[in-house]
Amino acid sequence: MNIYTSKSIKHKAQEIIKKNQTNNVSIICNNLSILRLESNLGNVNGFLQYFEEEDEYIIHINENASYRNFVIAHELGHYFLHKKLNSFKLSNCSVLLEEKLEQQANIFASELLVTDKMILDANINFNEYTLNEIASHFRVPSFVIKHKIEQLKFSSSRVFNIYDNKLIAQF
């Protein structure tokens, strides 16, 4: 089993974007011949299914999911990071391991959907907007923007702090 850091997951997402020349999850799925099916999955937002006989992957998406592209990107995270793992066996072994795999898929989805370049190109004055407003701009859950801000703290000269749900950039 591979050990992934946030940095290695970010590099994997960048590699996928470069290879596909896009971060559009529908195009990436099409390029990989991964089918997407929407249905009522109850409390589950989505899951990745593998059919060994056909060597085919399907991403199931809850028709009621709030952030459809995030769900697809999250499942692509499992595809690129964990597809050789049997998640059903793993979920019976360790709750902590299962949480770690979910966290890694969330990081992958965050890095795939909102690249550093997208944040810089948006030229957002972080002092004026809340996390939710910035997330709305990028059409992602607010925890994606929070992750990106945390990640950018370590890779730029800017220091971001969050006060009253506002991002304060310091130089």
- For residues 124 and 137, the answer to whether their CB atoms sit within 8 Å is yes
Catalytic residue among 15, 56, 75, 128: 75
- For residues 112 and 15, the answer to whether their CB atoms sit within 8 Å is no
Distances, alpha carbon 102 to alpha carbons 72, 137, 169, in Å: 13, 24, 29
The residue type at 2:
N
Q: How many residues does the chain have?
A: 171
75 is catalytic: yes
| Alpha carbons 19 and 12: distance in angstroms, whole number | 11
DSSP one-letter code for 157: S
**Token duo for residue 69:** 């592209």
Please list the active-site residues. 75
